[in-house]
Structure 1
Amino acid sequence: MRQSRQREKSLSQRSGIPSEIPKTYNPEGVEGRLYREWEEAGLFDADPDPEREPYCIVVPPPNVTGALHMGHALNNTIQDTLVRRARMKGFEALWLPGMDHASIALQNVVERKLQREEGKTRFDVGREAFLEKCQEFADESRKTILSQMRRMGASLDWRRLRFTMDEGYVEAVNEAFIRLYDEGLIYKGNRITNWCPKDRSAISDLEVNYESADGKLYGLRYRFSDGKGPGPDGESFAEVFSTRPETMLGDVALVVNPDDERYTELVGRRVTVPFVEREIEVFADSYVDPEFGNGVLKVTPAHDPNDFEIGERMGLEPVNVLNPDGTINENGARFAGMSREEARKAVVAALDSEGLLGEVRDHTFRIGKCDRCGTVIEPWLSEQWWVSMKPLAERAIESLERGEITVYPDSWRRETVRWLSNIHDWNVSRQLWWGHRIPVWYGPNGETVASKESPGEGYEQDPDILDTWFSSGLWPFATLGWPEETPDLDYFYPTSLLSTAREIMYLWVARMIMNGLHFRGEVPFRKVNVHSIVLAEDGTKMSKSKGNTIDPLDLFDEYGTDAVRFGLLYQSSTQDFAYSYERAQMGRAFVTKLWNAMRFIATGVFEGDGEASVSDRWIESAFNRCARDYDALLEECEFSEAMRRVYDFAWHEFADWYIEIAKTSPSSETSDVLRRVFIGILKLLHPVMPFATEEMARTLGASEYLMRQPMPVYDPALDDAEAERVLAATKAAVGAVRAFRNEANVSGELEGLLPDGVEADVFSKLAGVRVVERIGASRAALPAGDAVVEVALSEELRRGEISRLEKEVSRVAGEVSRAEKKLANEKFVERAPEPVVAAEREKLRANTALLETLRTRLEEYL
């Protein structure tokens, strides 16, 4: 005994365990201190190392428009977990930080600020001064975001911080544009775009939010130019139904379906567009839906994408009636200068006054709104720069179909292939100021030159900028030094994994795949994890306007960063989830449970004799399997299941059972086993809960950072099926006695027989049963899995046991009856998988045997 105490004392002294360990874990006093230590020690740094296998994740760059949100908290936790795990598995692991200039988003923020504080627009202050204000805002926002990422515990290599407006990145963007231009994959053309009148810029199809709106369907009448009616009814006009009557000012034709017999005589006639007095012809085109309105369609190529295609087929010249700010231009006759809304009312009133307004119906339709400012989008014909996407998409489709990129879940791989298969050319020019200026120059004699620098005197640069997604689409390789052939690019590309939300699978992920293959000849990443979206508590999408957003920093303050990180991963799956504060509480309770276990291990004295016990072998075997399962789940991005696996082992198997066994039935090896398994648990959890686990390891005397220690590796030699079987039986037996005590309100020691196949000392001490050779007829038979635990009863307990057994007989008899009926069903036996049928048969066998035992015991009491 004395030798055991001396051994524990000397172990504490050697490991540097503090004599006074706080009773509770204090995240506020730990997190900032540890993060500074890690960063100063260079633990996050990664450089090409031919002796190590690379592992690289480039962070999806947050927009420099404000604070991080819960989606960032989840995704950063996912990435940090995987990168920290990779470091501990021996990879040269790089998590590369960066931020996106977010042209339209930041410009909107700065313009609102300018209007609010100075009452001016960007046009009032001019391009140069406005860009200075954008840069100032971006710089301040960057500081905020970087401090928040550090607060989250993000182990980013801060030496490599990239920004999409940095000089080197601008070089990469210009290089990509010029290469595509020289290859004939970028061209300038007049096409219909989604135009935001407030931003005065084109935006992507994917940046338009569609919603239902209640409006009107107006009957618009066009008089026949020859003054004659179309038929025996003598009507002198053709009628068309439209939701946007103001666009009739730009009409260049009417069309009907060639198979619509109502309008056979109408084809070839000419009508006059009201107010602008433009004569237009009636054509036949199969695009027209005879069921919509009255089956006659007006063609306005400058203001509708479908009309544009009809006009292209028929060689019709478009007429644009809108200014960039959405007001009616000079082609709108008396309505020039009016806003779209004003013009709609005025056109309807004018039609009515001239007898040209037909039926007006209530109508529900879809309208598109700008994702950034909420303005109703106008389909508008304008000259833009376009990328030919089909040649780029073909290689990406092949790559995805060959499995060169693994996507979790795989349904998003299939969806991305579908989108790429139906891709259209991409409008990449934006009529904004904040962003990458298009590297195209126009010469004094009409020359057009794509160049990073001015070709010479008299050349003017294109005023437009590039869509933000054009620059961010280069992210995985431009951040590593492309277009230069750098050692970083050679070593870390292709990157290992990208983690992102599904909302930008098309905007960003698909484009990175195309660009990676086109510019580097390889996919940009080997895996893509599409994570769930964190919703508000009521299950709706978080929105500042709704006031239902949750600030992750507030959660870190209240629960501790580790607790929030663990809770987020515990909830994360392929399905969106409503954020639960209970999971943060659960994470905090988990940290507390581990802290208490650490204090017990650090300060406890375990006096035991003999070699390793069955319990010692069991916990090492169970931990070995936990490490295997946990690592495999993280490899497959099954974060929720991974958290459940390690939580169940650490809380229930280790803390609830093994520590209790260590207190009552230690062997001479228990102290070492306790410490070894607990340190293993800390290592498994360190990528998820870095602060608390580091502090606990340090308290236990660790001389090296956990991040520099190896992740536990599954060892088949540690599997001990016999020890696990014995402990399973022992836990079931102890649980049966404890349940009996609770139900019968029994305290104090019981006498009982030793069940078969259990660890005797553990059973006796944890169940509070004095094992004897024989007991009288008055006994309780307690089901414990496939076994039965028998304990002696007093007369009072005998009567209570009769009642309990009667209930148990009824329950088990019901299970037997259910299984018999199920197995008597021929369809079930024939159609169900064999393992399912076999499991039912095993349940029937076990319950039949148990029922016989219970009935026998009941008869003995009666």
Structure 2
Amino acid sequence: MRGRLCTGTGVVYLCTFGDEQDIAWQKKYKLPVIELIDKGGNLTEPAGRYKGLSVEGARKRITEDLIERGYIRKIEKIQHQVISHTERGSCNAPIELLPLEQWFINVKDFIQDIIKTAEKMNWYPEYMLQRLTDWSNAVDWDWIISRQRVFGTPIPFWICSCGEVIPAGEKELPVDPRGTTRKCPRCGGKAMGEKDICDCWVDSSITPLIISKWLEDDSFFEKTYPSSLRPQGYEIIRTWAFYTIYRNLILTGKPCFKDLLINGMVAGPDGRKMSKSLGNVIEPEEPLRRYSADTIRQWASIGTLGDDYPFSWEECEHSQRFLTKLWNISRFIELHLRDFNGKKPRELAEVDKWILSKLQRLIQKCTRQLDSYIFNIPLEQIRGFVWHDLADNYLEMVKHRLYKPEIYGEQSKRAAQYTLDLILRTILKLLSPFTPHICDEIWSNIFKDGYVTLADWPEANKKLINRDAEETGKILIEIMGEIRRYKSDRRMPLRSEIEHVKILVSPELKEKLERIKEDVIGTGKIKNLELSVSGVDGFKIIYE
């Protein structure tokens, strides 16, 4: 809050340096600086009788003195905001600001250039661009690149007491000036090597240049710059993304990324940030002792892009069950492909057309979403297709064709084999980015053709997309669902036969049911099936 004479805001207290606002006012109004705390966190000479005490110790002593002199009327606990070291969750120590000389890189003069360059990149999700824009517009000072630490990239300068700064020669780099001296070219004195090191973002902000061999291989650089993708967390948009965009722009004049993929943070099972103090930390080794890597990869893929995502034991269980289901489905298909000749049949059954049409639509959806770095929706769609369309429905509706070719025809069996072969190959390709280990294992064992993770991504065959077959397949699923419920209600095994079934069907559905009549008979284990045109809405099943 700023004090104003005209509005009676009262006197504003200023402490150098309590927070960043104090620093801004001290610079603006050229106020004197009182260095009350030294680098060791102890009070200095201006503190008088409290000199040498730590900050906490001084607070206690001052409180005691105030009580002794009768200046304290009331003591109570209150909560207030304190600037703390939050980069390490186990620290959270209060921060005291000290006036120290630092090295800066000019950033403020290029803020609008940084924003315009960022706008030329594709951000996933799109709203993350606004985070960078907001941060850029809120920058108060230039980039402080020096750190008072032991480990890090040295700052290659020597500083003389006369103020001369001596940079290292380009051919000298890399060089560590700490503990060394050089003759000052201005005054002839002894220039001391800079003791500070670089901020870590000084190194990481040039990663697009390093990987593209900038200034090393012009041909390679032209092919690989800008980087196709920068994956990173949202919490370092203000640092890693900001400084990388800035430095690469200054050095090359071009954007450094085509796409930026921004992920959220992994939260505890309770949805809160993982913290030892909250008792919600899940160490990586714990789930890996219970589940496979492909299980953990599925859990990680289910999160929404850009959002924090809580760890979930339930999702791991579901993912593990899916892998078991996929393995069992693959074993079933392998068993029935042993005598498959690999040839495309002359004609497919209606149920084959149904599932292959749905498979093509699945390929289209997954490709479109993965191209936009959306992982959770494709994985859910693939798992839904495998679990319900394939396992619950299609496999059950082709078993009679696979097991009894003498009744339903050899060509019908070949069509089912062809469909199963195509489905499994495609599903393993679609799943391989999420669960590469089990997909490679199944692929190499069944198809004997290297690894699916090295295979081409599937392309949708638009000729196989058949809206009429999808509608007919939906009717077949509804009929089989009613027949299953009929048997379940009467505690009949699903394999038990029904003597006679009559299906009343509307005129507009008569032709569709004729095409799937054989599948209803074979799947439902029906001895006699009668189709009768009626005025019913859709169809009605009568058991006799």
Bin the TM-score by the shorter chain. 0.7 to 0.9
2:202 to 470, 473, 486: 470
| Offset at residue 500 of structure 1 (A) | 2.1
Distance 1:339 1:496 in 2: 51
User: Which amino acid in 1 is paired with 2:284?
Assistant: P
TM-score normalised to structure 1 length: 0.54
Partners of 1:606 and 1:670 within 8 A in 2: no
**Counterpart Cα distance in 1 of 2:418 and 2:229:** 38
- Residue 147 of structure 2 corresponds to 430
SS of the residue aligned with 1:441?
Answer: strand
Alpha carbons of structure 1 residues 367 and 692: separation in structure 2 relative to 1, 3 Å: same
Distance 1:606 1:705 in 2: 20
Kindly report which structure 2 residues correspond to 1:295-306, keeping only aligned pairs within 5 A, or say none. 295-306=10-21
1:399 and 2:148 correspond: no
Which position in structure 1 is the counterpart of 2:406? none
Question: Could you tell me how far apart the structure 1 residues matched to 2:520 and 2:338 are?
Answer: 19
Quote the residue 1:791 is aligned against.
Answer: 542
Alignment-derived partner of residue 768 in structure 1: 525
Out of 386, 395, 402, the residue aligned to residue 104 of structure 2 is 386
Per the TM alignment, residue 703 of structure 1 is displaced from its structure 2 partner at its CA by 2.3
The 1:423–1:310 alpha-carbon spacing in structure 2 relative to 1, beyond 3 Å, is: closer
Say if 2:337 and 2:421, in contact at 8 Å, map to a contact too: no
Change (3 A) 1:606 1:698: closer
1:588 equivalenced with 2:303 (yes/no): no
* Aligned amino acid, residue 722 of structure 1: D
RMSD, matched Cα? 2.9
Q: Which residue number in structure 2 is paired with residue 692 of structure 1?
A: 438
- Give the Cα–Cα distance (whole angstroms) in 2 for the partners of residues 532 and 314 of structure 1: 41
Instruction: Identify the match of residue 535 of structure 1 among 267, 273, 283.
Output: 267
How is 1:198-597 mapped onto 2 (pairs within 5 angstroms)? Answer: 257-259=4-6, 290=9, 295-350=10-65, 363-370=78-85, 371-372=87-88, 373-401=91-119, 404-424=120-140, 425-443=142-160, 445-451=162-168, 453=172, 456-457=182-183, 458-597=190-329
Cα distance in 2, alignment partners of residues 622 and 693 from structure 1: 21
Correspondent of 2:335 among 603, 612, 619: 603
Aligned to 1:709: 455
Q: Does 1:634 align with 2:391?
A: no
Letter aligned with residue 395 of structure 1: D
TM-score (norm 2): 0.83
1:380 alignment partner, SS class? coil
Mapping of residues 689-838 of structure 1, within 5 Å: 689-745=435-491, 748-754=497-503, 755=505, 756=510, 757-758=512-513, 759-773=516-530, 787-793=538-544
Aligned partner letter, 1:467: D
Question: Does the 8 Å CA contact 2:118/2:255 hold for their aligned counterparts?
Answer: no
- Per-residue CA deviation, residues 225-273 of structure 1 (Å, 9 max, x unaligned), is xxxxxxxxxxxxxxxxxxxxxxxxxxxxxx9642366xxxxxxxxxxxx
d(CA) in 2 for partners of 1:392 and 1:533? Answer: 30
Superimposed CA distance per residue, residues 208-237 of structure 1 (whole angstroms, 9 cap, x where no aligned partner)? xxxxxxxxxxxxxxxxxxxxxxxxxxxxxx
Alignment partners' CA distance in 2, 1:724 and 1:308: 69
**Paired residues for 1:142-157 under 5 Å:** none
Q: CA separation in 2, counterparts of 1:334 and 1:764?
A: 99
**Matches of 1:417 and 1:464, distance apart in 2:** 31
How far the C-alpha of 1:349 sits from its partner, in A, is: 4.0
Query: Structure 1 residues 552 and 621 mapped into 2: Cα distance closer, same or farther (>3 Å)?
Result: same
Residue 534 of structure 1, CA deviation? 2.1
Amino acid at match of 1:396: I
The alpha-carbon distance between structure 1 residues 382 and 456, as it changes in their structure 2 partners (threshold 3 A), is closer
1:408 and 1:529 in contact (8 A); partners too: yes
Distance 1:729 1:768, change over 3 A: same
> What's the CA shift string for 1:121-153, capped at 9, x where partnerless?
xxxxxxxxxxxxxxxxxxxxxxxxxxxxxxxxx
CA distance in 1, matches of 2:291, 2:14: 61
Give the deviation of 1:375 after TM superposition.
Answer: 1.9
Alignment length (residue pairs): 498
- Aligned counterpart, 1:230: none
1:320 deviates by: 0.9
Do 1:616 and 1:673's aligned partners in 2 also have CA atoms closer than 8 Å? yes
Kindly state the Cα deviation for residue 603 of structure 1 after the two structures are TM-superposed.
1.8
Residue of structure 1 in register with 2:352 after alignment: 616
Question: What is the DSSP-based 3-state SS (H/G/I as helix, E as strand, rest coil) of the residue aligned with 1:665?
Answer: helix
Q: Which has the higher contact order (CA 8 A, sep 6+)?
A: 1
Matches of 1:335 and 1:774, distance apart in 2: 100
1:836 maps to none
Q: Are the equivalent residues in 1 in contact too, given 2:366–2:378 (CA < 8 A)?
A: yes
Give the distance between the partners of 2:31 and 2:267, measured in 1 at CA: 49
* Residue identity in the other structure for 2:51: A
Q: Deviations over 1:174-197 (max 9, x none)?
A: xxxxxxxxxxxxxxxxxxxxxxxx
Q: Give unmatched runs, 5+ long, in structure 2.
A: 184-189, 403-411
Task: Work out the CA distance in 2 between the residues paired with 1:374 and 1:476.
Answer: 33
* Separation (CA, whole Å) in 1 of partners of 2:71 and 2:122: 60
Q: Which deviations, in whole Å up to 9, do the C-alpha atoms of 1:687-730 show, x marking residues without a partner?
A: 11111101101111322322332110122222122222211111
* Stretch of structure 1 that moved more, 637-646 or 448-457: 448-457
